[in-house]
């Protein structure tokens, strides 16, 4: 985020920006992916408390890290800032299509599909970032997109204090380090320790969402249709998280971190979240 040093910042948010921040709080705190997917499957959230078979869990972990490596390299390439989808329709259409393929051919296809769906997801997040004024020509702007993948993976058993700002705090150091590394070198080495730290940090959160996705797709419902519906819900959830995240970042550029954080906490308390 650009430095605010030397700027005279407003002492309070306008009514319009308060409403924008309230919308962001609702996007980020109101409903978890687990609840969306459980409702879709017609199950309770206890569905996600089951332990997935070891083979499925290992496959999900491997696929998550592979997907993050691929999407991070894409995000930090010069092509990323030129990608455009003004309507957002093709993101949802492609996510639905890949989900249908995964649902039709079982776990091996689901594992193979994840890097593709993660890249599509990252494209969708980038478009939302641009709409909120994010500069995707900078490493910080791009890594803010990657951050959404972690923000969207709250566990069904998450405590009330484990919200947006708490998750951001756990990622801040590793993302800042990778941003400096990329700014200095202009490229990323997959073997670089800083790159691997980001993969591990984001994978711990995003992997929760992936496991929840696999758990629902393993429910014996309608095969390809279920996969398509799950991927559509997955995409919608992360688009919602991205919208809230980049509203907060836009307001932070205008008002500074402290004033936005104070108002965020006040709105969250007032909404009972």
Q: What are 17-33's pLDDT values in tens digits?
A: 999 999 999 999 887 78
Query: Of residues 99 and 42, which shows the higher confidence score?
Result: 42
pLDDT of residue 222: 45
Residue 178 domain-assigned (yes or no): yes
pLDDT of residue 103: 53
Residue 129 domain-assigned (yes or no): yes
What CA–CA distance (Å, rounded) separates 77 from 71? 10
- DSSP secondary structure letters along 129-145: HHHTT--TTSHHHHHHH
- Winning range, highest mean pLDDT, from 82-91, 95-104, 225-234: 225-234
Q: What is the mean pLDDT of the chain?
A: 77
Q: Is 264 exposed, middle or buried (0-12, 13-18, 19+ CB in 10 A)?
A: buried
Cβ partners under 8 Å of residue 232, min gap 6: 92, 95, 96, 99
Residue 271 domain-assigned (yes or no): no
What CA–CA distance (Å, rounded) separates 205 from 72? 15
Domain count, the chain: 1
What CA–CA distance (Å, rounded) separates 135 from 18? 23
* 232 pLDDT tier (thresholds 50, 70, 90): confident
Interval 71-78 mean pLDDT: 69
pTM: 0.83
What CA–CA distance (Å, rounded) separates 55 from 61? 10
Measured CA distances, 172 to 169, 197, 198 (Å): 5, 12, 10
Residue 11 domain-assigned (yes or no): no
Q: 149 lies in which domain range?
A: 53-247
For the chain, the 3-state helix, strand and coil shares in percent, each to the nearest 5, are 75, 0, 25
Asked if 264 and 25 count as a contact pair (C-beta separation under 8 A), the reply is: yes
Residue 118 domain-assigned (yes or no): yes
What CA–CA distance (Å, rounded) separates 59 from 95? 20
Buried b (16+ CB within 10 A) or exposed e, 183-207: eeeeebeeebebbbebbebbbebbb
What CA–CA distance (Å, rounded) separates 199 from 146? 10
Residue 18 domain-assigned (yes or no): no
Asked if 24 and 247 count as a contact pair (C-beta separation under 8 A), the reply is: yes
Residue 123 domain-assigned (yes or no): yes
Residue 31 domain-assigned (yes or no): no
How many CB atoms neighbour CB 59 within 10 A?
19
The one-character DSSP state at 158 is -
pLDDT of residue 9: 66
């Amino acid at each position: 985020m650009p430095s605010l040093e030397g700027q005279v910042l407003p002492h309070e948010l306008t009514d319009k920006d308060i409403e924008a921040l309230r919308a962001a709080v609702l996007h980020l705190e109101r409903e978890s992916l687990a609840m969306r997917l459980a409702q879709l499957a017609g199950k309770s959230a206890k569905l996600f408390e089951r332990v997935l078979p070891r083979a499925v869990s290992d496959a999900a972990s491997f696929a998550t890290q592979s997907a993050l490596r691929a999407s991070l390299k894409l995000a930090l390439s010069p092509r990323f800032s030129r990608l455009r989808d003004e309507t957002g329709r093709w993101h949802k259409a492609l996510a639905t299509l890949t989900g249908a393929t995964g649902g039709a051919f079982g776990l091996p296809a689901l594992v193979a599909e994840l890097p593709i769906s993660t890249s599509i997801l990252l494209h969708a997040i980038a478009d939302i970032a641009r709409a909120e004024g994010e500069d995707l020509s900078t490493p910080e702007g791009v890594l803010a997109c990657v951050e959404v993948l972690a923000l969207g993976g709250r566990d069904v058993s998450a405590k009330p204090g484990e919200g947006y700002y708490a998750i951001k705090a756990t990622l801040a150091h590793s993302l800042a380090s990778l941003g400096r590394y990329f700014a200095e070198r202009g490229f990323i080495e997959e073997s670089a320790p800083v790159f691997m730290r980001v993969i591990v940090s984001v994978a711990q959160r995003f992997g929760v969402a992936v496991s929840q996705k696999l758990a629902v797709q393993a429910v014996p419902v309608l095969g390809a249709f279920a996969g398509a519906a799950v991927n559509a819900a997955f995409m919608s959830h992360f688009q919602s998280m991205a919208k809230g995240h980049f509203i907060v970042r836009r307001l932070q550029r205008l008002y500074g971190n402290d004033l936005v954080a104070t108002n965020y906490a006040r709105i969250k308390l007032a909404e009972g979240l």
